[in-house]
Amino acid sequence: MEWFTEGLSECVFALLGIALTLLASRIGALAGRLAREKLQDERVREVAATCVRAVEQMYKDRSGKEKLEKALLMGEKLLMKKGIRIGAQELRVVLEAALSEAKGAFREK
């Protein structure tokens, strides 16, 4: 009977080790995915800020609507070069946020 409980203990510890290994693997994969998403979000915001500054500099005499269209096209091209694909609506939101931040910076100067 003693050999049975020893064997059972070994099996339980082996299963526990496998479960912990799987859990650690899943946590690592999730952490990696979250880090990649955060980095991509940062890149999108950086590109949006760059586009807003460039459009403001290059198209000073254009209307806001025209500037937005130029920024959308420019942003889409730059993001595609970086391998980042986002929807037009999401890009528009990020560009509008970047513009709002830039206007605040322009007012402070």
Buried b (16+ CB within 10 A) or exposed e, 61-77: eeeeeebbebbbebbbe
The pLDDT of 11-40, averaged and rounded, is 92
The pLDDT of 6-16, averaged and rounded, is 84
The pLDDT of 82-98, averaged and rounded, is 92
Predicted pLDDT of residue 4:
65
The pLDDT of 62-81, averaged and rounded, is 93
Instruction: Give the CA-trace dihedral at 46, 49, 52, 57, to 10 degrees.
Output: -100
Residue 72 pLDDT greater than 80, yes or no: yes
Nearest to 101 by CA among 57, 46, 24: 46
Around Cβ 103, how many Cβ atoms within 10 Å? 12
Predicted pLDDT of residue 107:
59
Computed over every residue of the chain, the mean pLDDT equals: 88
Residue 43 pLDDT greater than 70, yes or no: yes
Q: Under DSSP, is residue 1 helix (H, G, I), strand (E, B) or coil?
A: coil
Residue 1 pLDDT greater than 70, yes or no: no
Predicted pLDDT of residue 91:
93
Predicted pLDDT of residue 101:
87
